[in-house]
Amino acid sequence: MEIAFVPDWVLRYFSKEKSVQRHMNVLLSCSVTALALLLFNSGQISTIVPHFCLAQFLFRVPCPGCGITRSLSAFFRLDLRDAWFNNPVGPFLGAFLWSQILGRILAIRSKHFECGFIEFSSIAGRILVLALAAVWLCRLF
């Protein structure tokens, strides 16, 4: 589970090596996401924007991601109680996001670290997806 939305033409400015481009893509994408969540949290924008979930509106059941944005915003405020209340996966997703930022920096600098980190990232991503599915099942019943 990687957040990677930086276009290839931008990544070519950083390196010609594909593995470095991949790490830069995740690093920049996670950094922008974390910054957006911090900005979303400042100025109380999060309290002004109403909750809307398209999946809940269409199917009349809460989706597994309901509350993730509010949970991540609370996590970045270090309000772990509110983060857990909004979506129990949020604090773990926030920690995963920070680990991606730090880990990608280290992976770019050290090929020895890269292999282990890619494995960690893959396993942690799968665990987060399973956790989201578990939260969804709990909400359904």
pLDDT per position as a tens digit, 66-124: 888 888 888 888 889 998 998 999 999 999 988 988 998 888 888 888 888 889 999 99
Q: Which two tokens stand for residue 7?
A: 């276009």
Whether the model pTM is above 0.75: yes
Query: How high is the pLDDT of residue 112?
Result: 82
Of 65, 2, 73, nearest in space to 37 by CA: 73
3-state SS assignment for residue 38: helix
Distance of CA 123 to the CA centre of its chain: 15
Q: Is the CB of residue 3 less than 8 Å from the CB of residue 100?
A: yes
Q: By residue range, what is the domain housing residue 121?
A: 8-140
Is there a domain that residue 1 lies in?
no
Residue 46: its pLDDT value, please? 57
What is residue 81's predicted lDDT score, i.e. its pLDDT?
Answer: 93
| 122 alpha carbon, distance to own chain's centre | 13
Total of domains in the chain = 1
Dump the DSSP string for 11-37.
HTTT-S-HHHHHHHHHHHHHHHHHHHH
Token readout for 119 is 């494995």
Q: Is the pLDDT of residue 52 over 90?
A: no
**Domain annotation covers residue 12:** yes
On whether residue 103 sits in a domain, the answer given is yes
- Let me know if residue 44 belongs to a domain: yes
Residue 110 lies in a domain: yes
Q: Does residue 3 sit within a domain?
A: no
